[in-house]
Amino acid sequence: MKLTMQHLAIIGITLLLPCNIGCRPLRKNANHKKTKSSLSYDLKKAPIDKDTHPVVILGGGVSGLNAATRLGMVNYKPLVVQGPIPGGLLTQSHSVRNWPGEIDIDGKSLTDKMYAQAKNAGTIFSSASVTAVDFSCWPYRITLDDGPTPKTISALSVIIAMGTTPNYLNVPGEKTFFGKGVSTCAVCDGDLYRDQTVAIVGGGDAAITEAAYLAKLAKKVYVLVRKDHLRAQDKRKDEVLAKKNVEVLFSTAVKQVHGTDQEVTHLTLENTKTKEQRTLNTNALFLAIGSKPNSALFKGYLDLDAHGYIKIDSTPDHDITHYSPAQKTSLPGVYAIGDIADPHFKQADAAAGDGCKAALQANEFLEHLGFDPDSFEKRKMQTHRSIPEAKPAPAQKPQAVIVEVSSEQKLNELLKQTGMVTIVDLYANWCGPCRGMMPTLKKIATDYAGKVRVLKVNVDTVPSVKRTYSVRGIPRIIFYDATGKKVVDRTGALNYQGFSSELSKIIGS
C-alpha cells in the first residue's frame, strides 16, 4: 500500500522554526516577491557548517533524481532527502510506456537506474523525511526526521520534488478497512487479491492503469465511475475496458465500505442519477480518484495556488539567471519540480524534465553567488575541524537485532522468546513502501538495540503468514511487548517518529 496515511501525518507536523543560529534572516518577509529585489544572499557572510549543503533536493522520485544527476555532474554533491517512498510513486507503476527510450519498463527498474546514475554522479542520499522548513532566513533550514532527535540541516538552494498524496473518498468504512482491502496502490496490494473480485473507484488515467494491472490478476474488476463518462485519455482505455473480466459501472458513487474484522466484503453503491442504492460484493476497493500536492510545509513561505500546488514564477530573474521561466518559486534559489508544481500533466518524463531545468537554474543561482564547490567544501571542513569531535563513549553498545525469518514455524519460535519488545514486519520485495521503510527499521533496531528486535517476514517466501495474519495489505507491522503480548497491529509504513511514538507507549521514552 502507498504511504499515504504516513504522508499525511508527516505533512501534518508543520513547525515553523524560529530563525536563530545558522542562517541569515532575509531582509523582508520571505513569502513575497519583494524578497527578490532585496536579496541578502551573501555567501561570504553566510553561516556555513558541516550540515550546510549547496543544494538539497526534497524528494527522491524521477524529478528529484534527475535534478541530482545534473547537479552531481557539476560536482555539487547534492543531498537527496528521499522521504517515505524512495524512487517516488513511479515505483508503484508496473508498466511505464511513455519514458523516452523505453518501450515498456516497470517503475521500480526505471527509478533504480536513475538512482544508480545519480549516486554515480556523487549524490548523497538520506532516507529521512522532511518535517519542517524555515525559509525565512538563508541558508534555508530544513528539519529532518532522522533518528531519535530531529536534525536540522541548511541549504544554499532547495529543489522541492515532494509529489502528491492520493485523495480519499471520506465515506464510512474507508478508514476502518484501509490496509484490509481498501488501498491506493494496485501494484502494491493487487497480488493479495489474485482470483478474487476487486473494485476500482475513479474515471481518470490512474483508474485505467490500475484496471489494466488488476485485470491480469483478479477474477473480476469493477470500475466505478461517478459520471456517465470517463475522464481518462489513456490510449489503452478501450482495450482495458473491453477485457472480459472488466466491467464499468457509470453514474456510480461509493457510499460505504463494509466488511468483517479483517477484510472487505461488500460496498454500498448509489446511482448518482436515480439515487437508487445497491450492494456490490468485492474483496477490495482501490482508490484512483486523484491526488493532492504535499506542499503544506511550504505554506507561508512560497506562493501556492488554490489547490496547494506550488506556483512557478514565470517572471525572468535576469539578475540571477538567464534561464526563464523554469521551476522558480516565489523565493530565490528555491525550485519546485514534478507533480507538486504540476496540476495538469503529471507525467514522469515531464517531471524529469523539470528536474533538469531546476538543476540548471540552481547551478546559475549558486554561480551568481560566487559559489565554488572546492572552496565550499574547504569552508565546511574548517568549520567542522573547529568543533572538537565528541569522544565515543567507552561502554559496549548492545547489537541491533534484525532477523529475516524463513518460516512461520521459526517466527512462532522467535515470538515465544520474550524479554524484549518485538516488531514483526510483514513485507514483500515488490512493495515500494516496504522497501522504503527498511532504512528506518534498521535505524530503529540500532537506536533501540537491547530493548527492541525486528523480525522481518517476506510474505512471498513465507506465504502461509498471509492466511495466519489475514494479510490484506503490506507492510503490516505488529508490535509485541516484552511479555510477548501483541499490543499494536497496523498496516502501512511508519516513519521514524511513528515507530518511536509506538515504542515510547510500550517501553517508555
- Residues acting as catalytic residues: 185, 188-189
Q: Of the listed pieces 47-55, 225-233, 368-376, 412-420, which binds ligand NDP according to CB under 6 A?
A: 225-233
Element (H, E) at 69: helix 62-73
* Interface with ligand NDP, residue 142, by CB under 6 A: no
* Interface with ligand NDP, residue 267, by CB under 6 A: no
| Site residues (CB under 6 A) for ligand NDP, limited to 74-103 | 98
Number of Cα atoms under 13 Å in the Cβ half of residue 344: 2
* Interface with ligand NDP, residue 175, by CB under 6 A: no
* Interface with ligand NDP, residue 205, by CB under 6 A: yes
Q: Of the listed pieces 104-112, 121-129, 195-203, 386-394, which binds ligand NDP according to CB under 6 A?
A: 195-203
Question: In sequence order, what are the beta bridge partners of 224?
Answer: 201, 249
Provide, rounded to whole angstroms, the least separation between the CB of residue 158 and ligand NDP.
25
* Interface with ligand NDP, residue 187, by CB under 6 A: no
Q: Of the listed pieces 288-296, 367-375, 422-430, 477-485, which binds ligand NDP according to CB under 6 A?
A: 288-296
Amino acid at 312: I
* Interface with ligand NDP, residue 287, by CB under 6 A: no
CB under 8 Å to 228, separation ≥6 — which residues?
A: 250, 251, 273
* Interface with ligand NDP, residue 201, by CB under 6 A: yes
* Interface with ligand NDP, residue 289, by CB under 6 A: yes
Packing angle of the helix pair 62-73, 348-368 (nearest 10 deg): 40
Q: Of the listed pieces 147-155, 197-205, 378-386, 402-410, which binds ligand NDP according to CB under 6 A?
A: 197-205
* Interface with ligand NDP, residue 346, by CB under 6 A: yes
* Interface with ligand NDP, residue 209, by CB under 6 A: yes
3-state secondary structure of 106: coil
* Interface with ligand NDP, residue 354, by CB under 6 A: no
3-state secondary structure of 32: coil
Burial bucket for residue 195 (CB in 10 Å: 0-12, 13-18, 19+): exposed
Burial bucket for residue 299 (CB in 10 Å: 0-12, 13-18, 19+): middle
Shortest CA distance to 192 belongs to which of 286, 104, 289? 286
Interface pick for ligand NDP out of 106, 134, 189, 234 (rule CB under 6 A): 234
* Interface with ligand NDP, residue 150, by CB under 6 A: no
Interface pick for ligand NDP out of 32, 50, 113, 227 (rule CB under 6 A): 227
Number of Cα atoms under 13 Å in the Cβ half of residue 276: 4
CB under 8 Å to 487, separation ≥6 — which residues?
A: 479, 480, 481, 505, 506
Question: Which grid coordinates belong to 68?
Answer: 541530482
Interface pick for ligand NDP out of 113, 194, 219, 231 (rule CB under 6 A): 231
CB 6 within 8 A of CB 497: no
Question: Which grid coordinates belong to 168?
Answer: 480519499
Interface pick for ligand NDP out of 83, 163, 203, 473 (rule CB under 6 A): 203
> Which of 126/291 has CB closer to ligand NDP?
291
* Interface with ligand NDP, residue 169, by CB under 6 A: yes
Provide, rounded to whole angstroms, the least separation between the CB of residue 178 and ligand NDP.
15
* Interface with ligand NDP, residue 147, by CB under 6 A: no
Q: Of the listed pieces 188-196, 204-212, 361-369, 443-451, which binds ligand NDP according to CB under 6 A?
A: 204-212
Structure letter (DSSP) for residue 469? T
Provide, rounded to whole angstroms, the least separation between the CB of residue 117 and ligand NDP.
23
Number of chain positions touching ligand NDP (CB under 6 A): 20
Closest CB to ligand NDP: residue number: 204
> Which of 131/291 has CB closer to ligand NDP?
291
Question: In sequence order, what are the beta bridge partners of 488?
Answer: 479
| Site residues (CB under 6 A) for ligand NDP, limited to 391-420 | none
* Interface with ligand NDP, residue 299, by CB under 6 A: no
Q: Where are the beta strands (DSSP E) in 59-139?
A: 79-81, 124-126, 129-134, 137-138
> Which of 201/221 has CB closer to ligand NDP?
201
Provide, rounded to whole angstroms, the least separation between the CB of residue 136 and ligand NDP.
33
3-state secondary structure of 292: strand
Q: What is the 3-state secondary structure (H, E, C) of 240-290?
A: HHCCCCEEEECCEEEEEEEECCCCEEEEEEEECCCCCEEEEECCEEEECCC
* Interface with ligand NDP, residue 204, by CB under 6 A: yes
Residues 62 and 110: their CA atoms lie apart, in Å, by 9
Query: Which residues are near ligand NDP by CB under 6 A?
Result: 98, 167, 169, 201-207, 209, 226-227, 231, 234, 288-291, 346
